[in-house]
């Protein structure tokens, strides 16, 4: 029998997202509403990793990327969005009220304001201000073409600095949530402040349909976290869903997509993290990552989240 409803999110902080999604699902609500609630909760949490509390870019501005996709392949994404608290809700508004699927930067902000979203102060959260300050000590501002050749390249998280360098409270900055509702429909969302201290204007995989998120209600859904460039290179989450279409389990599909990434960038793969998380129509769940340390949170039936560790290539 299909286990449903069910909600899964990347990382152990996925508990915050799942806790907000679960009441919607438990009442028989729609997956799309559940994943939006998940996003709102995590974007509100200044102690976590995404939303306006996240780390800024090299110029000190927080720029947000997010997308959402429903069971009918309706989708919306926003990128390089500043001073708006809930990018996923802006993405949903775009999906539901316009013929478009992707808005960026100033235009995305303008659209948000026109739709009643509030312009926030743009001030960094105390934690982010602290990590920006310590980042500035070692890394002078220098947009370089080959960012991966930088001297101060941090270990284990690709060319950019990992989040929250000093206090170690978390090392990621993306939340992906996938839900299967009581009706058997799938939806998902992905929201991020992006890689900490990224170049200004840089956009990762998170707001890109087929990058940070893909949902195919016939088959399953997938989301990703980690070095966005590597996910984009292989259209990662679309690839995971296609592997499931070909009969692989969610974990096998995530594993095969990870192997594809490693094959594309064998040398660099030793230094970056990418993790995929997937669910199929049967409510089976799986994940796989390039490096150790990727985990995810599963909430179903009893409403309590369970943190699971993903297997990894290395």
194 is an interface residue for ligand SD4 by CB under 6 A: yes
What is the rounded distance in angstroms from the CA atom of residue 196 to the CA atom of residue 38?
A: 22
What is the rounded distance in angstroms from the CA atom of residue 67 to the CA atom of residue 280?
A: 20
- Residue 290 near residue 281, CB atoms below 8 Å: no
Report helix, strand or coil for 34: helix
What is the rounded distance in angstroms from the CA atom of residue 90 to the CA atom of residue 111?
A: 8
Q: Of 172 and 281, which CB lies nearer to ligand SD4 in the complex structure?
A: 172
To ligand SD4, the closest distance from the beta carbon of 90 in angstroms equals 17
Catalytic residue among 10, 174, 191, 299: 174
Whether the CA torsion 46, 50, 52, 57 is positive or negative: it is: positive
- Residue 163 near residue 173, CB atoms below 8 Å: yes
- Residue 3 near residue 283, CB atoms below 8 Å: yes
- Tell me, yes or no, if 174 is annotated catalytic: yes
Q: Which of 234, 222, 224, 239 is nearest to 278 (CA)?
A: 222
Q: Of 82 and 205, which CB lies nearer to ligand SD4 in the complex structure?
A: 205
206 is an interface residue for ligand SD4 by CB under 6 A: yes
29 is an interface residue for ligand SD4 by CB under 6 A: no
205 is an interface residue for ligand SD4 by CB under 6 A: yes
Q: How many residues bind ligand SD4 (CB under 6 A)?
A: 13
Q: Of 172 and 255, which CB lies nearer to ligand SD4 in the complex structure?
A: 172
Q: Could you tell me which stretch among 83-91, 191-199, 250-258, 290-298 binds ligand SD4 (CB under 6 A)? A: 191-199
> In this chain, which of 19, 37, 192, 265 binds ligand SD4, going by CB under 6 A?
192
What is the footprint of ligand SD4 within residues 219-278 (CB under 6 A)?
A: 225-228
To ligand SD4, the closest distance from the beta carbon of 224 in angstroms equals 7
Contacts with 140 (C-beta within 8 Å, 6 or more apart), sequence order:
none
To ligand SD4, the closest distance from the beta carbon of 275 in angstroms equals 8
To ligand SD4, the closest distance from the beta carbon of 226 in angstroms equals 5
Q: Where are the alpha helices (DSSP H) in the chain?
A: 14-26, 31-44, 87-97, 105-114, 126-138, 228-233, 236-245, 250-264
What is the rounded distance in angstroms from the CA atom of residue 123 to the CA atom of residue 231?
A: 30
To ligand SD4, the closest distance from the beta carbon of 196 in angstroms equals 8
What is the footprint of ligand SD4 within residues 150-189 (CB under 6 A)?
A: 172-174
Query: Minimal CB distance to ligand SD4: which residue?
Result: 228
> Which chain residues interact with ligand SD4 by CB under 6 A?
172-174, 192, 194-195, 204-206, 225-228
Residues involved in catalysis: 174
């Amino acid at each position: 029998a299909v286990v449903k409803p069910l909600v899964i999110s990347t990382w152990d902080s996925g508990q915050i997202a799942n806790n907000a999604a679960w009441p919607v699902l438990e009442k028989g609500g729609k997956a799309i509403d559940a994943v939006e609630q998940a996003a709102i909760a995590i974007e509100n949490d200044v102690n976590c990793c995404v939303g306006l509390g996240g780390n800024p870019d090299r110029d000190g501005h927080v720029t947000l990327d997010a997308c959402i996709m429903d069971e009918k392949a309706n989708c919306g994404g926003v990128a390089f969005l500043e001073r708006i608290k809930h990018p996923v809700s802006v993405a949903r508004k775009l999906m539901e009220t316009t013929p478009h699927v992707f808005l960026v930067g100033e235009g995305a902000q303008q659209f948000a304001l026109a739709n009643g979203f509030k312009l926030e102060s743009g001030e960094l959260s105390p934690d982010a201000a602290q990590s920006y300050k310590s980042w500035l000590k070692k890394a002078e501002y220098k947009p370089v073409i080959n960012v991966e050749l930088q001297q101060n390249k941090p270990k284990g998280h690709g060319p950019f600095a990992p989040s929250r360098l000093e206090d170690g409270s978390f090392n990621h900055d993306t939340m992906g949530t996938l839900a299967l509702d009581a009706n058997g429909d799938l939806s998902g969302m992905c929201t991020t402040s992006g890689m900490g201290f990224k170049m200004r204007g840089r956009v990762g995989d998170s707001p890109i349909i087929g990058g940070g998120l893909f949902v195919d209600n016939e088959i399953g859904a997938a989301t990703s976290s980690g070095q966005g460039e590597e996910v984009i290179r292989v259209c990662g989450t679309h690839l995971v869903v296609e592997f499931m279409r070909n009969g692989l389990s969610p974990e096998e599909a995530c594993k095969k997509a990870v192997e594809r990434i490693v094959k594309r960038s064998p040398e660099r793969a030793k230094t970056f993290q990418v993790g995929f998380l997937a669910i199929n129509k049967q409510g089976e769940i799986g994940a796989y990552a390039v490096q150790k340390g990727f985990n995810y949170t599963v909430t179903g039936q009893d409403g309590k989240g369970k943190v699971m560790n993903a297997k990894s290539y290395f």
